[in-house]
Structure 1
């Protein structure tokens, strides 16, 4: 049985981005119907700057995940238009797929300051490098920790040394 490819219909935000010349790919909406946009790492900052100008003034969540051993990492951004007159604010998710060998993406800290600790957590857990971040260092693990604990190919050490635990 041949697989049928299904086209994903562009949402309001995607249409606006296309009309204004921003290169991106439309992914299937999430379970709540929130539009998901895929962008290449090189175009993240121009696209996010445009979304900020369009009214997405709140970065609700930034995070990362590992698609599996040998697969890409994903850095994602959940953006919201916060206004005084919206009973249900408009939302959009932006995803950047990054290669395992060199997972680098520009920091959106300079657009949304709330990215500060969230990008540090994604760095600490997955090893995603957020270029241009003002203080990209571990936030959950000790500074001398080796490896990235939430990578699916991470091997846990056989021992844990507790220092100053008493």
Structure 2
């Protein structure tokens, strides 16, 4: 075999993502999801459609992921999707190292809506409010979805990459 034969061709497909423990468990139990590449720490990442977020999160909670370490959002760029993500941890007294998984939901920027996970993990309360405030993602069923960091009358979503900052903002009298 020549050296050229042993090198992967530049036009070959990207390597397949190997299913992790969590993805395998979800598949065995009939939960539809998509695999993504592991993150920079080697943590398993699964992609979920918005309508399947609550069933999958409920299943993950029952599977032992009892701690929502972080919920957040980011913008993939002007005209592209917004992403709501969840970093879940399985806290177990008998485990030498906690098991972790990240769940990502990709949403159209024209109508970014998905159900709130507040009723599964109360830690989502202010985190979902911040994602709403900065990116305009509506978490349906959240008990108090309103601006958290910006004034309530602020127009727009400041962390979207296509946001145009106003030239000024009239401060209201604090009294």
* TM norm structure 2: 0.92
4+ runs of 1 displaced by more than 4 Å? none
Mapping 1:119-134, distance limit 5 Å? 119-134=128-143
Residues 92-135 of structure 1, C-alpha deviations (whole Å, 9 max, x = no match): 00000000111001000000000000000000000000001011
Aligned to 1:43: 52
- Partner of 2:25, secondary structure, is helix
Aligned to 2:153: 144
2:115 pairs with one of 92, 97, 106: 106
Aligned to 2:82: 73
Q: Does 2:159 match 1:153?
A: no
Deviation at 1:85, TM superposition (A): 2.0
Deviation at 1:17, TM superposition (A): 0.2
Residues 50-76 of structure 1, C-alpha deviations (whole Å, 9 max, x = no match): 000000000000000000000000000
Give the structure with higher Rg (CA).
2
Q: Does 2:144 match 1:135?
A: yes
Cα-Cα RMSD: 1.3
* TM norm structure 1: 0.96
- Partner of 2:160, secondary structure, is coil
Aligned to 2:71: 62
User: Which whole-Å CA distance do the structure 2 matches of 1:57 and 1:122 have between them?
Assistant: 21
Mark the runs of 5 or more structure 2 residues left unpaired by the alignment.
Answer: 1-9
- Partner of 1:13, secondary structure, is helix
Q: Does 2:31 match 1:4?
A: no
1:24 pairs with one of 18, 33, 50: 33
- Partner of 1:105, secondary structure, is strand
Mark the runs of 5 or more structure 1 residues left unpaired by the alignment.
Answer: none
**Stretch of structure 1 that moved more, 154-163 or 142-151:** 154-163
User: Which whole-Å CA distance do the structure 2 matches of 1:110 and 1:33 have between them?
Assistant: 29
